[in-house]
A and B are shown apart, each in its own frame.
Chain A
């Protein structure tokens, strides 16, 4: 699928809902779980609050703040009329949108200071997030290409992490190095969730704790290449892992592969979660397969659309070729703590294919 084909899908979706235009807004505060309608509709990853107006003929106007970023927007978005503004709401107001049913996307995720003014500016606007993000539930060919490059960067980052992780180095130092290293390879961002301890309860943002022998590092490396995120989840033992740790990690890897095998076009996303849970339940970990211990076994990958959503029991989305999402069992086991393993998986015409060259395996680094 090309960007243009997806845009045509969105226009068709608008018309089906009786909309004459759609206004997508993003505040520029990018977050892994916050979809970005501006990115979906234009390919532009903004620095400040931005809005795009999509007309029912397919024409687009992009309101860019800060005003000085408009030249970049023009370079990235050929065919889009770019309007610079100091304030995104005033910029939209100046467009004088006129009569007719207007849909909006992204309003609920905006800061109140912007959203409340937008709602006042466009009374009667109907929520149309689904029109934008459902159409982007499958990735374009370009996004898939970017996802492959992001995966390559993630795996190179992981190799570097294995070299750097040793007693005395702090979590913060490792996280900072990963962010910088990914950038040096071409990623414009990297969501590095990394923590360590003798018995992790979860993966959390890094802080100043220094690594010690016997720790396990749990890490999510999530580089973004040209706005497309991809993630790998890994676990590293500082020193030699004991047999129990190896046995339990092999179990979560087995569960992950069961999930990948279930990720087939035509099947619901919930089946992927069930397949993972089944492996763990068979080993007596049923109580740890549900909240509060676990909420999901993976998720979509933005920054544009985060569809097809979570790998969760309540997600009935039917998998389709071109969908890209994480499969990560990421399980707490009482004997060894929290374990991370996960791969980005692309749904093809026949099956789910991990983008990674090397699957998760328990790593041990010397001391």
Chain B
């Protein structure tokens, strides 16, 4: 879900070796090497807006400027950190990678690293790289590295036990934010959303994003100017990141009976009941859109994890360990509604991690 991107990521992002030990990262790298047996190393790019892959392999969240990990099959690892040498001490607590260098002069440092590899070079996140940096890197390497972004996206879809534990923890936060929203909703839209965000920060979120509706749920807007009036109904989208993992959902508050809300909830319940390994997102989408067209034409099913929206092929059967956000909605002439459920696919069905009451 697109929200307004902040200019700096500020929340707690230190690596917690108890929650996500080094061995888990090594397992992820081993899986990458298995799928690319000719590869000797991988270049992984990440920035503040797009760093799910970088975090997946290194735990590093580039709060300020971009980072590039150079990870070798032999076990050597280095992180190139943007912002100059003085940024390195602040970056060290965020990752298991010990060797850190400034990101400057990648045209020199990356080819030198690649030359020592016993095999080919992979690239993850190349499309997110700034255009000028991408050109500089490819020119310096001479040959284009193999794009391993799709491989890693596929690996990231099935969450490990530790990842599911972190996502469960993250999933407790939107509920706290929604409670604060409900308590403050009579004041005005801005105060209510700010109260919800504050509750999320207080609950340990490392990032909080919100959208809300000013037209009865027909569309969503970010916070840009204060809104002094309350809204009824109040449709709010909340996304929180805790321990690296995102949880999200839609909250609909209203004082009046709402037939559209009932219809959307019914579609959502049907989709949750249908969810089990082997079902495709396309099938779930059919169920979720039976109640009507979504306001804002949002996708009905998204993957979620280290990114607030992860790659999820529509026609690929879901596997246990996948975490999804399911959305059902109704767009009327003068109003709209979206309801959602954050769900994990289990071996036998699904587990609802959070859904607004």
Contact = CB atoms under 8 A, between A and B. Distances in A.
B100 interface: no
Contact of A180 (B4, B89, B93, B198): B198
Contacts of A183: 194, 197, 223
Contacts of A175: 10-11
Interface stretch (A198-206, A320-328, A348-356): A198-206
B144 to A, nearest CB: 12
A29 interface: yes
Interface size band for B: 35 or more
A71 B219 contact: yes
Interface in A26-80: 27-32, 45, 47-48, 65-69, 71-72, 76
A189 B10 CA distance: 11
Given A29-B48, A183-B223, A204-B89, A47 B3 contact: yes
A195 B90 contact: yes
Interface in B190-239: 194, 197-198, 201, 206, 219-226
Contact of B219 (A68, A113, A115, A229): A68
Interface in B1-51: 2-14, 47-50
B86 A201 contact: yes
A45 B223 CA distance: 11
Contacts of B13: 207
A145 interface: no
A208 B206 CA distance: 11
A204 B298 contact: no
B282 interface: no
B264 to A, nearest CB: 17
A179 B207 CA distance: 10
Contacts of A242: none
Interface residues of A, number: 57
A29 B49 contact: yes
Contact of B10 (A67, A107, A179, A292): A179
Given A28-B5, A110-B130, A112-B126, A205 B64 contact: yes
Contacts of B49: 27-29
A313 to B, nearest CB: 18
Contacts of B2: 28, 47-48, 65-66, 69
A222 B7 CA distance: 10
Given A32-B7, A172-B206, A189-B7, 18 more contacts: A28-B49, A66-B2, A66-B296, A67-B297, A108-B131, A109-B131, A109-B132, A110-B130, A110-B131, A112-B126, A113-B126, A170-B12, A175-B11, A180-B198, A191-B7, A193-B64, A207-B90, A207-B94
Interface of A: 27-32, 45, 47-48, 65-69, 71-72, 76, 107-113, 115-116, 170, 172, 175-180, 183-184, 186, 188-189, 191-193, 195, 201-202, 204-209, 222, 224, 226, 229, 292, 303
A-B pairs, top 3 by smallest CB distance, nearest first, are: A113-B127, A202-B86, A68-B296
29 contacts: A29-B47, A30-B6, A32-B7, A48-B2, A69-B221, A72-B219, A110-B130, A110-B131, A111-B129, A111-B130, A112-B127, A172-B10, A172-B12, A172-B206, A176-B11, A177-B201, A179-B10, A180-B201, A183-B194, A184-B194, A192-B8, A193-B64, A195-B90, A201-B86, A202-B86, A207-B93, A208-B12, A209-B93, A226-B224
